[in-house]
Amino acid sequence: MKKNNSKWLDLYMKNCALLNKSARTIQNYRADLSAFIEWHESKFSGDISRARARTIEEYQNFLTYGGQISPKKSWLQRLFFFMKKKRIVGAGKLRGPLSVNSRRRHLSSLKNFFDYLKQTHEEQGSRFKLNPVKPKIHAVLVKDVDISHTKYLKPTDWELIYEKTWRTRERLILYLLYFGGLRLHEICLLKREYFNRQSGTVTFPRKGGKVHTLKLKNGDAIFDQLDYWFENKAGNSSFLFQGSKNSPLSVRAMSTLIRKMISRASVTNEITPHSFRKACATNLYLNTKDLLFVRDYLGHSDASVTQTYIDKNALHERHLRM
């Protein structure tokens, strides 16, 4: 890898670490970006500051159809092969075509990388003045199969539900659903010792038993509700939301409670408790354009699953407003 390309990649990885992105996300970013840099160096020789929209279109075709990556020969190597009357054949790597989801992930990683380079070099001359990855190229296309399963909770519906919710426990549940993106069974099993106000995080078991430390969005509002709940309402139960006999509230009881909040607000758009998690995913993606970040925030193992949580109509509306 050329010196400049390696330097920019390392700077971006350090920035990701400073933003508290998970080690898994950083590892995926490095793999995706290294693959692009290797392709770019084999095809154009120069550093990636020369990449333009046409470059990204060519790379998209490479990801779609596959091909060979061969290291560039120096002029001495080319002269040697010419004098020996041999063809210049590098020890190239064959890359097979990637799936649609993998291509989108690669392009999403590139979009964020070039956004960072643009912001950090805007006062340093002509390099990275424009992001070569256009929004239409890397935009996430949501699987239609999901649309009929989970309705998206629009911001207007969220406001209606929020305004009709006054009790501390209910508001806390709404915040953990809408801003935290937690599943119902994850909320039911929450304990007070899982929360750390100083770091703004909650550490809890995810689906499948994996322990996840999540830095909460809108954390101040959530912890304000938590403090009041702990001091005045929660009692001595180890669980945040207690059922009978010091056991956690059941998922069924939690679902019934949330449906009552939805009904009280007279929201009639077939909203379900799971709609809050879909809204969390969509809002995060609209704000960050970072599919891997949303994947890790929701605790998904595969970004293709995360894509089904992002509402395509909301993406389309945002695009029309831009």
Domain boundary, last residue among 94, 117, 137 = 137
User: Do 107 and 149 fall into the same domain?
Assistant: no
Q: Indicate if the pLDDT at residue 138 is higher than 70.
A: no
User: Do 189 and 241 fall into the same domain?
Assistant: yes
Q: Indicate if the pLDDT at residue 157 is higher than 50.
A: yes
Distance between CA atoms of 13 and 296, rounded to whole angstroms? 16
- Asked if residues 126 and 227 have their Cβ atoms less than 8 Å apart, the reply is no
Q: pLDDT band for position 260 (50/70/90)?
A: very high
Residue 14, classified by CB atoms within 10 Å of its CB into exposed (0-12), middle (13-18) or buried (19+), is exposed
The whole domain housing 74 covers: 3-137
Which whole-number Å values give the CA distances from 217 to 3, 38, 182, 196, 284, in the listed order?
A: 37, 36, 12, 14, 9
User: Do 285 and 174 fall into the same domain?
Assistant: yes
Domain boundary, last residue among 100, 117, 137 = 137
238 DSSP assignment: S
Query: Which of 148-152, 241-245, 255-259 is predicted with the least confidence, judged by mean pLDDT?
Result: 148-152
pLDDT at 94: 63
Distance between CA atoms of 276 and 79, rounded to whole angstroms? 64
User: Do 132 and 163 fall into the same domain?
Assistant: no
Q: Which residue in the block uniquely carries the two structure tokens 């077939």?
A: 270
Domain boundary, last residue among 137, 160, 181 = 137
Phi, psi of 204 (to 5 degrees): -150, 160
Distance between CA atoms of 51 and 44, rounded to whole angstroms? 9
User: Rg for the chain (alpha carbons), in Å?
Assistant: 24
Specify which residues 201 forms β-bridges with. Answer: 196, 215
- Asked if residues 118 and 129 have their Cβ atoms less than 8 Å apart, the reply is yes
pLDDT at 163: 93
User: Do 247 and 166 fall into the same domain?
Assistant: yes
The pTM of this model reads: 0.65
Helix, strand, coil: what percent of the chain each, to 5? 60, 5, 35
Q: Indicate if the pLDDT at residue 32 is higher than 80.
A: yes
pLDDT at 196: 93
User: Do 110 and 179 fall into the same domain?
Assistant: no
Task: Find the mean pLDDT for residues 21-29.
Answer: 82
- Asked if residues 142 and 307 have their Cβ atoms less than 8 Å apart, the reply is yes
Q: pLDDT band for position 233 (50/70/90)?
A: low
Q: Indicate if the pLDDT at residue 202 is higher than 70.
A: yes
Q: Indicate if the pLDDT at residue 259 is higher than 70.
A: yes
Number of domains in the chain: 2
Give me the CATH number covering residue 228: 1.10.443.10
Phi, psi of 134 (to 5 degrees): -80, 150
User: Do 261 and 129 fall into the same domain?
Assistant: no
96 DSSP assignment: P
Q: Indicate if the pLDDT at residue 79 is higher than 60.
A: no
Q: Indicate if the pLDDT at residue 311 is higher than 60.
A: yes
User: Do 57 and 85 fall into the same domain?
Assistant: yes
User: Do 234 and 265 fall into the same domain?
Assistant: yes
